[in-house]
Chain A
Amino acid sequence: MSQKNSDSSVKTSPTVPVSLKEIKKVAEKKVTSTPESKIPSGPIDSKWAKHKMDSALINPANRRKFTAIVVGTGLAGGSAAATLSELGYQVKCFCYQDSPRRAHSIAAQGGINAAKNYQNDGDSIYRLFYDTIKGGDFRSREANVYRLAEVSTNIIDQCVAQGVPFAREYGGLLDNRSFGGAQVKRTFYARGQTGQQLLLGAYQALQKEINNGGVEMHSRSEMLDLVLVGGHAKGIIARDMVTGEISSHAADCVILATGGYGNVFFLSTNAKGCNVMSAYRAHKKGAYFSNPCYTQIHPTCIPVSGDYQSKLTLMSESLRNDGRIWVPKRPEDVGKLASEIAEADRDYYLERKYPSFGNLAPRDIASRSAKEACDAGLGIGNSGLGVYLDFADSINRFGKDTIASRYGNLFQMYSKITGEDPYSEPMRIYPAVHYTMGGLWVDYNLMSNVPGLHVLGEANFSDHGANRLGASALMQGLADGYFVISATLPNYLVNESPGTINTGMPEFREAEENVRTRISLLLSINGKRSVDSFHRELGLLVWDKCGMARNKNGLKEAIDKIPAIREEFWDNVCVPGESMNINQELEKAGRVADFMDFAELLCHDALHREESCGGHFREEYQFTKDDPEVSSGYTNEGEAKRRDDEYAYVAAWERNDRGKLNLKKEWLEFENVKLATRSYK
């Protein structure tokens, strides 16, 4: 799996001299109440070691007095719960699935990056760090990313020791492949099921700790609110999804590892249950939400086939190694069979626009180009929202057997879903929402601005900037869970007296009461429309106005329209059934209600960020023929234009009691990697 783009081919743009803006930025930094990132001082390669040395320790005998709540059992949550229990903490772990083994990390296909340099091809911690910063379009924190690259090597050791069956060479050693955004082979993989194997490793570690008595597991339990005591996160309210019982859970700290918010678009590659509720509840209780507008749209998914569609299926990016992407050149050919369109009448648009990267252009660029082609009326398939991914040339060159050996399982998956044979006719693909880089704001300790509330994995914002590179999500989830939180959590706990919190406290009773009221309200509306119909309506609007490309007017329109959908929801939704039984509609209703509010935050963030970077493309901010970068041939017209002087910060949104949003800015410092415009020509 590879895209050839990497830092070494990213040319550096002309340096901007220190300007008035620069001075203004420094001045602004002083006046804005920036959340404090707590990045340790010193050279980048010794920050983590120094921080661990400076961090507090809790002695083994005292650890058992502390209780941590972990919500979510994907790679981040599962690994954190297991590791904290091994260290001696008491852990209460929650997941909405019937078993922790089913969290959506399981669906990751491609692989996990690690700077092992087993291939002797010049990889290093620094190079992985560098690729990740550039891939993220210079919108992530250097110190966090460096730490991620540093612990990546420990993750592979840990997983292999657990028995994760990574691919091996005949000599018995681990195999690697290359992946998007890198020119070295640093991706470890387990066929197309890497996420599954890593998650089963974490799940088994978790089951081991359950057996050892360190983890109290609550499956089919959904967190419905966060409880603060004296401004600190000290517990949650959960609903038992089988009995319907609402219960309070007290602890000394709360760890959220609840994944991303891609399902705000309704259709995405996320599992149906993935939702933003825990993160959004925390946001409502004071936690900053950062960079929600950074959403990743994956270019190779199976297109939507009808309005009954419930989710989108990803086809691995590796297909772009041998498939050529095209649409008809002329609108009059749209609707014809692929075989009826002459070679000369096909537009291989990625090869045309990006001759050196061709079909392997990075995810954001490939996705946007597909949208442009379809917007121009050249899209294929019944909906007009699709492009061809054609293997005919590769089959001619290498033979059907070779292509089958490379992609057999993917071709089979495609024909199972579409009923079409990709060996004889081109695949139809279209971009789909896949991953969300934004999330709750956290400091270097992975603690949010709410003391005691820690956030791991996709649920936080910290490591991928505006765009995530392939095979980095698994790495981040496991880095946070196995290696970071265990070292940083004591920094918070050491100042807390364990066991002082109990569920009899008024804060718990009040939060429980609010949860019960909300449930009764949802059940009492008795309207005419299903929860899904609202979710679909919201998703279509957000996809249309805040999807692959955004502009000011569209975002304003969405911000105007969302409250009307929400109002109708609270007036006309139908949630049948009762609260004290399994009630899947009630579960969905609570999640969709939060998506309604969250969608507004997402659009506000996208509106305020007047630049294009990574997964956030604002149509107003693209290179034009008048820009020196275009006339000099450095980049193309229409490429994303960052505005570092104004926007090289993390947007941290605070919500006050009346629901008003207040923007806080954490300016990003680039001391090791020079800010540069990405070019893939």
Chain B
Amino acid sequence: MNLTLKVWRQKDKDSKGRIETYVVSDIPEEASFLEMLDIVNNQLIESGREPITFDHDCREGICGACSLTINGIPHGKGSGITTCQLHMRKFSDGETIYIEPFRAKPFPILKDLMVDRSSFDRVIESGGYVSIRTGSAVDANSMPIEKEDADTAFDAATCIGCGACVASCKNASAMLFVSAKVKHLNSLPQGAPEKTKRVLNMVNKMDEEGFGNCTNQFECEAVCPKSIKSEFISDLNRQYGTALVKEALK
């Protein structure tokens, strides 16, 4: 297939970026979107130009590295997929495709389509864990957990930390990401002792990193490659409220 690509190019984080146009031909329909970019890059390199920089690694939808906004939609058209799982057969011959980075203030662009998502790591660092020391665990079956709770925790824990939720949100809110981690750990008895501290610290850190608030548009849920549910956000709000009251009553 033949395509016109409009690609965001930006030399480094301090430079101004712009859209550049590439006309590409003979792209196989079976190729993945990233393989299409590989082909374009190979042509750029062999004609002495700089290839397009983009994050990617596992290319099977689980590491969360790939992060392209395709025709305005993080990870492109199609539900429950990452950019690397998008295939060219979803596009038509002669189509013009806009390729941009995940845009959000807390995700500064580093180069071309690559952004810095370390703000997510710092949010986890603020409380997205259970403080258990290696070697001090009790027997795994000494703490039965209701299957329903375990399943809910799992559903929340499938988040791959890609940041599509933030990129899709007009407020650059990270509420889906944060709520998923809070839901995962706070639903389990192992996470209970640090429940209050966790939700306060993570929400405060999220604000500090410059993520916005949720205004119930739920674009995040629509683009989430792991179909994390937006109802976790209302749960986060409830848990945050309870935690604030608890703290105030201390």
**CB distance A584 to B190 under 8 Å?**
no
| Complex interface: stretch among B1-9, B93-101, B136-144, B211-219 | B136-144
Q: Which of B12, B59, B134, B157 is in CB contact (< 8 Å) with A197? A: B157
Q: Is B38 part of the binding interface, using a Cβ–Cβ cutoff of 8 Å?
A: yes
Known contacts: A158-B137, A160-B137, A310-B35. The answer to whether A165 contacts B188 by CB under 8 A is yes
Chain B residue at smallest Cβ distance from A577 = B50
Flag whether B31 is at the interface (Cβ < 8 A): yes
A308 touches B58 (CB 8 A): no
Contact across chains for B62 and A86 when beta carbons are under 8 A apart: no
A116 proximal to B (CB < 8 A) = yes
Instruction: Give the Cβ gap from A77 to chain B, nearest Cβ, in Å.
Output: 14
Interface readout for A517-540 with B: 1 if CB under 8 Å, 0 if not?
A: 000000000001110110000000
A100 to B144, CA, bound (A): 30
Q: Is the CB of A576 within 8 A of B133?
A: no
B65 contacts the other chain (CB 8 A):
yes
Q: Given A163-B191, A308-B35, A313-B60, decide whether A196 and B145 contact each other with a Cβ distance below 8 A.
A: no
Verify A154–B135 contact, CB threshold 8 A: yes
When each residue 201-220 of chain A gets 1 if its CB lies under 8 Å from chain B and 0 otherwise, what string results?
A: 00111011011000001010
Instruction: Decide: B89 and A208 in contact? CB cutoff 8 A.
Output: no
A424 within 8 A of B: no
* B30 contacts across to A, CB distance below 8 A: 305-306, 418-419
Q: For the complex, is B23 an interface residue (Cβ under 8 Å from A)?
A: no
**B156 — nearest CB in chain A belongs to which residue?**
A165
For residue A208, which residues in chain B have a CB less than 8 angstroms away from its CB?
125, 129, 131
- Inside 8 A of A273's CB, which chain B residues have their CB? 57
Indicate whether A311 sits within 8 Å of B140 (C-beta atoms), given known contacts A582-B114, A585-B51: no
Interface check A99, CB cutoff 8 A: yes
Smallest CB-CB separation from B78: which chain A residue? A416
A551 near B: Cβ within 8 Å? no
In the assembled complex, the Cα of A447 lies from the Cα of B34 at a distance in Å of: 39
The answer to whether B105 has its CB under 8 Å from any CB of chain A is no
Q: Which residues of B contact A154 (CB under 8 A)?
A: 135, 137
Instruction: Check if A584 sits within 8 Å of B28, measured CB to CB.
Output: no
**In the complex, A162 Cα to B132 Cα: how many Å?**
6
The answer to whether A161 has its CB under 8 Å from any CB of chain B is: yes
Residue in A closest to B189 when the chains form the complex, CB atoms? A163
Partner of B118, one of A82, A99, A196, A530: A99
Within 8 A of B (CB), among A526-568: 528-530, 532-533
Is the pair A582, B111 in contact by a Cβ cutoff of 8 Å? Answer: yes
Interface residues on A, range: 35 or more
A107 touches B60 (CB 8 A): yes
Q: B63 at interface (Cβ–Cβ under 8 A)?
A: yes
| Contact mask for chain A residues 166-196; partner B; CB cutoff 8 A; 1 contact, 0 none | 1111111110000000000000001101011
In Å, the complex CA distance between A582 and B113 comes to 12
Interface residues of B in 157-203 (CB under 8 A from A): 157-158, 160-161, 184-185, 188, 190-191
User: Taking the nearest CB of chain B, how far is it from the CB of A376, in angstroms?
Assistant: 26
Instruction: Identify which of B56, B146, B191 contacts A272 (C-beta below 8 A).
Output: B56
B39 interface hit (Cβ, 8 Å): yes
CA distance A574 to B59 in the complex (A): 25
* Residue pair B34, A163 in contact (C-beta under 8 Å): no
B38–A106 touching, CB < 8 Å: no
Contact with B along A140-174 (1 / 0, CB 8 A): 00000000000000101111111101111111111
Confirm or deny: A104 has a beta carbon within 8 angstroms of a beta carbon on chain B: yes
Interface core residue of B87, B114, B153, B157 (most chain A CB under 10 Å): B157
Q: Which residue of A lies closest to B86 (CB)?
A: A416
Q: Which residues of B contact A156 (CB under 8 A)?
A: 140
Query: Is A453's CB within 8 Å of the partner chain B?
Result: no
Chain A stretch 425-474: residues in CB contact (< 8 A) with chain B: none
Interface residues of A in 564-613 (CB under 8 A from B): 574, 576-577, 581-582, 584-585
Pick the residue among B64, B146, B160, B190 that contacts A163 (CB under 8 A): B190
Which residues of chain B have C-beta atoms less than 8 A from A158's C-beta?
Answer: 132, 134-135, 137
Q: Is B246 an interface residue (CB 8 A)?
A: no
Asked if B120 CB lies within 8 Å of chain A CBs, one says yes
Q: B121 — which chain A residues lie within 8 A by C-beta?
A: 99-101, 207, 217, 219
Q: Is A486 engaged at the interface, CB distance under 8 Å to the other chain? A: yes
Report the separation of the CA atoms of residues A98 and B57 in the bound assembly, to the nearest whole angstrom.
10
| Residues from 302 to 332 in A contacting B, C-beta threshold 8 Å | 305-306, 308-311, 313-314
Nearest-CB residue, chain B, relative to A306: B28
Contact with A along B43-63 (1 / 0, CB 8 A): 001101111010111111111
- Looking at the assembled complex, report how far the CB atom of B117 sits from the nearest CB atom of chain A, in whole angstroms: 6
With beta carbons under 8 angstroms apart, the residue of A169, A173, A306 that contacts B31 is: A306
Q: How far is the CB of B211 from chain A (nearest CB, A)?
A: 16
Interface contact tally, CB-CB below 8 A: 215
In which size bucket is the chain B interface? Answer: 35 or more
Do B129 and A98 touch across chains, with their CB atoms under 8 A apart?
Answer: no
Whether a CB of chain B sits under 8 angstroms from the CB of A621 is no
Given known A86-B134, A161-B130, A585-B51, contact A97–B57 (CB-CB < 8 A): yes
* In the assembled complex, A248 has its CB within 8 A of some CB on chain B: no
Residues of A within 8 A of B153 (CB): 163, 165
A83 to chain B, nearest CB (A): 4
A106 in contact with B49 (CB, 8 Å): no
User: Which residue of chain A is the closest to B12 with respect to CB atoms?
Assistant: A581
- Is A482 close to B, CB under 8 A? yes
Question: How many angstroms between the C-alpha atoms of A418 and B89 in the bound complex?
Answer: 10
Which residues of B sit under 8 angstroms from A210, Cβ to Cβ? 125
Does B19 sit within 8 A of A, measured CB to CB?
no
The smallest C-beta distance from B104 to any residue of chain A, in angstroms, reads 15
- Count chain A CB atoms within 10 A of each CB in B30, B134, B137 and give the residue with the most: B134
Cβ-based interface call for B150 (8 A): yes
A408 to B: closest C-beta gap in Å: 12
Q: Mark B9-37, 1 if CB is under 8 A from A, else 0.
A: 00110000000000000001011101100
Interchain CB contact under 8 A, A165 and B60: no
Q: Return the contact of B134 from the options A83, A171, A174, A417 (Cβ within 8 A).
A: A83
Looking across the interface, which residue of chain B has its beta carbon closest to that of A307? B28
**Given the complex of chains A and B, what is the CA–CA distance between A588 and B144 in angstroms?**
47
Task: Tell me the nearest residue of chain A to B158, going by C-beta.
Answer: A193
Whether the pair B35, A161 counts as a contact (CB closer than 8 A) is: no
By the criterion CB–CB under 8 Å, are A530 and B190 in contact? no
A200 contacts chain B at the CB level, 8 A cutoff: yes
CB distance from A32 to the nearest CB of B (A): 38
Q: Does A483 contact B (CB under 8 A)?
A: yes
Residue of B at shortest CB range from A160? B140
> Which residue of chain B lies nearest to A487 when distances are taken between CB atoms in the complex?
B135
A102 touches B191 (CB 8 A): no
Among residues of B, the one whose C-beta sits closest to the C-beta of A84 is: B134
Say whether B239 faces chain A, with CB atoms less than 8 Å apart.
no
Asked if A272 contacts B12 (CB within 8 A), the reply is no
18 other A-B residue contacts (CB within 8 Å) besides A163-B190, A207-B128: A86-B134, A97-B63, A98-B55, A99-B121, A104-B57, A158-B134, A165-B150, A171-B144, A172-B146, A174-B141, A196-B160, A207-B121, A208-B129, A310-B32, A310-B35, A419-B87, A532-B38, A574-B46
Interface on B for A, CB 8 Å cutoff? 11-12, 28, 30-32, 34-35, 38-39, 41-42, 45-46, 48-51, 53, 55-65, 81, 85, 87, 89, 110-111, 114, 116-118, 120-121, 124-126, 128-141, 143-147, 150, 153-154, 157-158, 160-161, 184-185, 188, 190-191
Sorted nearest first, the 4 A-B pairs with minimum C-beta distance are A172-B144, A204-B129, A161-B137, A165-B154
Give 28 CB contacts A-B under 8 Å. A83-B134, A98-B117, A99-B118, A99-B121, A102-B64, A106-B63, A107-B60, A160-B137, A165-B157, A167-B150, A168-B144, A168-B150, A190-B154, A193-B62, A196-B158, A197-B154, A200-B157, A208-B129, A210-B125, A242-B110, A308-B38, A311-B59, A311-B60, A313-B60, A413-B61, A416-B85, A416-B87, A529-B46
